[in-house]
Amino acid sequence: MTAIKPLLALALLVWAQSVLAQPRPPIDRGMDPQARRPQRAEQLGPRVPREQLAKRIKQLQMWKLTERLNLSDEQAAKFFPRYNRYQDELGEAMQNLQNRVERLRELRRSDANENELDREIEAVVRERKNVSDVLPKYLKEFRETLTAQQMADLIIFERDFLRDLTEAIERARERAEP
């Protein structure tokens, strides 16, 4: 069974690459990034729904994480509900940060006054801190299930997985470009 997990993970990664290997449309560098989004969507054509893609990537992440941490069935049963809550909270914090940065961008484009900009800058800084505070909040819960070595591997894994996923997406896009 353990030999199947790496094969499934590899198959899922290859699938994700092929799904994400949509050709990029030419980009008008002078165009506002917000205005480019609809243009991109129209030129890319039908795609796999984001929710479905996110679900498959999450499955891949869980398989690889289980393997990297060498989790027993008992550990996995205790760890993953906590890890899922952590991921949900981290995702929400990152979305809040992104929303604040977008609001700051809008204020900047509209030549908002200094006070408005200062308030939004402070809000962005608060949201960045909230993102940074998520892992320490869950550290004790994770340590109830994981050893220190597994915790170290978890932190390294998250960074590596994100980097590998980003690189896979970029390679797929490069192959799809004419």
Mean pLDDT (the chain, rounded) = 80
Q: In whole angstroms, what is the distance from residue 105 CA to residue 100 CA?
A: 9
- CA–CA separation, 69 vs 157, rounded Å? 9
Average pLDDT over residues 98-113: 94
User: CA 93: distance to chain centroid?
Assistant: 12
At position 81, the amino acid (one-letter code) is P
When pLDDT is averaged across residues 96-109 and rounded to a whole number, the result is: 95
Q: Measured between alpha carbons, how far is 162 from 124 in angstroms, rounded to an integer?
A: 23
DSSP summary character for residue 113: -
**Token pair recorded at residue 66:** 């289980």
pLDDT in tens, 48-85: 788 888 889 999 999 999 999 999 999 999 999 999 99
End-to-end Cα, the chain, rounded Å: 40
When mean pLDDT is compared across 78-82, 109-113, 124-128, 173-177, the lowest value belongs to 173-177
Q: What is the pTM of this model?
A: 0.66
Mean pLDDT of 104-119: 93
User: CA–CA distance from 71 to each of 44, 57, 149, 166 (Å)?
Assistant: 40, 19, 12, 25
- Residue 69's CB: how many other CB atoms inside 10 A? 20
Average pLDDT for residues 100-118, to the nearest whole number?
94
Spatial separation of the C-alpha atoms in residues 82 and 61, rounded to whole Å = 15
Instruction: Please name which of 62, 63, 85 lies closest in space to residue 142, comparing C-alpha atoms.
Output: 85
Q: How confident is the model at residue 31 (pLDDT cuts 50, 70, 90)?
A: low
Does the structure show a pLDDT above 50 at 138? yes
